[in-house]
Amino acid sequence: MDNTLINKSLEKSITYTTYRKLIKELLIKEKSTGLEQSDDLLNYSMLNDKRMDRLDKTLKVSDETKVSIDDLKNDFTFLVIAEGWCGDAAQIVPILNKIAEASNKINLKIVFRDENEELMNEYLTNGGKSIPKIIILDSENNVINSWGPRPSIATKMVLDYKEKNGSIDAEFKKNLQIWYNKDKGTNTQDDLLKLLKAS
């Protein structure tokens, strides 16, 4: 893939601070991010906003992550596709922000899925528009890897549950959020460090 789409997406991208601000401004108007609006999406967005508030206060970058990102020789950009109503994004994007804040080698940029369909279609998961999707770019904005929509342990939990029950339901989603809370971003940090080291 040439860089045109990536560069176009980066031009439209926003910082984490702006992302959080936009979500909060929309919630005041009783709206969620994205093209589709519904009571469910609004409720998810409200829940996720509280979740992200909590994670912004409590999440910590592990010592191992700090050492690894201090050792990075090159600059990277995490171009993240997300939406405010997405439960996985609410758990993952705050830890990406913490990683970026802890390193002068990592730049975090966010785009909304529904406003960036062309980009999303390049990074489907099993044919679906699952988010968050992290596109890892080098200093020249070349794509060196992508990751998401979930850390490896959570991905396995989803696959195992689907195999046993056919699809994921509200009960599973609740259990997944409990797992995220216990994990505190550790699995996400480990996965991303492996990718960065391989780069």
Whether domain 4-198 has CATH 3.40.30.10 = yes
Task: Give percent of the chain with pLDDT exceeding 90.
Answer: 89
41-94 pLDDT, tens digit each: 999 999 999 999 999 999 999 999 999 999 999 999 999 999 999 999 999 999
Band of pLDDT at residue 112, cut at 50, 70 and 90 = very high
pLDDT of residue 196: 87
What is the domain partition of the chain in residue ranges? 4-198
Band of pLDDT at residue 3, cut at 50, 70 and 90 = confident
Written in H, E and C, the secondary structure of the chain is CCCHHHHHHHHHCECHHHHHHHHHHHHHCCCCCCCCCCHHHHHHHHHHHHHHHHHHHHCCCCHHHHHHHHCCCCCEEEEEEECCCCHHHHHHHHHHHHHHHCCCCEEEEEEECCCCHHHHHHCCECCECCCCEEEEECCCCCEEEEECCCCHHHHHHHHHHHHHHCCCCHHHHHHHHHHHHHHCCHHHHHHHHHHHHHC
